[in-house]
Amino acid sequence: MKSLLWITGTALLYMVFALSSCAMQEEMAPPAKPAPIVEAKKAPPPAKAPEVKVKPVKASGDVGLLDLEKNYLILVTKEGKLITADFTDKTKVTKLIPQPAKMGDIDLGQAATVTYVTKGAKKIAQSVEYAVKAKKGE
């Protein structure tokens, strides 16, 4: 009987020891590696929308209204269309001053307006008008 008790006690002791060592092992488990420091990557700046060059619109007509305080004008086209446009300090204003010239001054390819009369099979020029192109920077 004594030996039975002794064996049981030894077995219990062994079990307690085994369990406690397991617990210790669990406790001794190497600490989890610290989460690698991930540098907060800066989000790339949102891609800039490609700048679409806005094509300038050309129009001709008579100035129907010019407001120098509110900086806008209304142009009346030949077709009767009204175009309201704002102007700024950057708006380039050019006046074309007429000056007498000679036929020899005209270059090939030069844009020109010719007024003529038809006499028989021939067209005779009464007047030739052309605009001199502004030099760069002017």
For other proteins, the binding residues (CB under 8 A) are 54-66, 68, 73, 75, 83-88, 91-119, 122-134, 138
| Contact yes or no for 71/87 (Cβ under 8 A) | yes
Closest distance to other proteins from the beta carbon of 121 (Å): 10
Helix (H/G/I), strand (E/B), else coil: 74: strand
Toward other proteins, which CB reaches closer, 25 or 99? 99
Toward other proteins, which CB reaches closer, 48 or 92? 92
Q: Which helix (H) or strand (E) element contains residue 83? A: strand 82-86
Toward other proteins, which CB reaches closer, 23 or 101? 101
The rounded distance, in Å, linking the Cα atoms of 138 and 133 is 10
